[in-house]
Amino acid sequence: MAEAQLQQFLAKVAQLNDFVSRCQSQPDLLQRLRECSHHQQVVDLAQSMGFDIGRRWGDTAGSVNQGHDSLLGGNLPARGQETSQILLETGGFRLMRLHSCSASSAPGFWYDQAEAEWVCLMQGSARLQFEDEDGERELNRGDSLMIAPHRRHRLVATDGGAGTIWLALFWTMDSGNDVSS
């Protein structure tokens, strides 16, 4: 680990330790932490107290607004929104970069797309729900998921802060191909 990364890691641990210490010393704050049901709620609670624990220690502070051709660059979408960019489109395949900020599907809305989809989270986290499953699935940086055509799903939540950045590959299935979910 380079010295700069080591210092960034130690600063992140110090922020986390300070946040935990404050939560343990204030019962009302500890209760608010207990009520958090996912990562972004904890990050938002910590941020409301002045702690910066949302950025993963290996991420650079400027990665959100670098403004050049970087998969992790670009402008942060407005809170509750998602932006998309087609990176490559050819021969029945479409590769997209999606950037979500505290985004979710509208109540009652389900994606039901004719194409197969593979998604990979490059930054942040997200929670998805499939109509044919009882619980939600949480995806974190580096996680990927295949979604078969017409498998109904919805976006429950994505990170605020720097947001969630996805790579999404869409393609039309041949009759002999199968996609497992």
Residue 137 lies in domain:
81-171
Question: Mean pLDDT over residues 104-132, rounded?
Answer: 94
Q: Can you give the CATH number for the domain in which 102 is found?
A: 2.60.120.10
What pTM was estimated for this model as a whole? Answer: 0.64
My answer on whether 41 and 106 are in the same domain is no
My answer on whether 15 and 96 are in the same domain is no
My answer on whether 96 and 137 are in the same domain is yes
Residue 144 has pLDDT above 50, yes or no: yes
Could you give the CA distance from residue 83 to residue 21 in angstroms, rounded to a whole number?
Answer: 37
Q: How many domains does the chain have?
A: 2
In sequence order, the 6+-apart residues with CB closer than 8 A to the CB of 159 are 39, 40, 43, 54, 100, 101, 102, 124, 125, 126
| pLDDT tier for residue 11 given thresholds of 50, 70 and 90 | confident
Residue 179 has pLDDT above 60, yes or no: no
The pLDDT assigned to 95 comes to 95
| pLDDT tier for residue 146 given thresholds of 50, 70 and 90 | very high
Element (H, E) at 28: helix 27-34
Task: Count how many Cα atoms sit within 13 Å of the Cα of residue 86 in the half-sphere of its side chain.
Answer: 6
